[in-house]
Amino acid sequence: MTNAEGVAITFFYLLSILVVLADQAAKWGVRSNMELGETIPVWSGHLQFTYYENSGAAFSSFQGYGQYFAIVAVAFVAAVFYYRRKGELRGPLLEAASGFLVGGAVGNAIDRVIYHQVTDFLVFGSRGGILNLADLAINAGGLLVVVYLLKEPLKRLAFKR
């Protein structure tokens, strides 16, 4: 293993762990200091904290079946580790993407296993959905995967000019 590979592996684990810790700390803070349904405006019209418990999936779909998504999260994390071990998730973008995705999946899985629901509290804009730091990490990871997938086609397109 080269030094660069060691740094990339360390970055993946560090990012995953930081996401889980930040997510769980934020959720603990919300559960400890807010009443269910309480809203605290943070940035007028742009961000508010609203304490919500989601027993389903994204957009409050599949209410009551959230514990099954913990199984999906475990399978997803296992798949990431498998493909990382095979060497198929290499490079800064994929290291960061997989770190965010694994950290977010584990953060929400912890809630599902312990509480049978996920604590959500972030509302962006007046008509935004409600989410948490794990959800933001999953979105960031997904965005980085899209950037990775578009990087080569955009390079080829730029060189054709």
Residues 6+ apart with CB under 8 A from 157: none
Look at residue 67 in the predicted model and tell me its pLDDT.
72
Residue-wise over 75-108: b if at least 16 C-beta within 10 A, else e? ebbeebeeebeeeebbeebbbbbbbbbbbbbbbb
Q: Which residues are catalytic, by number?
A: 120, 135
Look at residue 6 in the predicted model and tell me its pLDDT.
65
pLDDT in tens, 52-89: 998 766 655 556 666 777 888 999 999 999 999 898 88
Q: Are strands 47-54 and 118-124 parallel, antiparallel or unpaired?
A: antiparallel
Look at residue 3 in the predicted model and tell me its pLDDT.
64
CA distances from 98 to 67, 83, 134 (A): 23, 10, 13
Task: Summarize the confidence of residues 110-119 as an average pLDDT.
Answer: 93
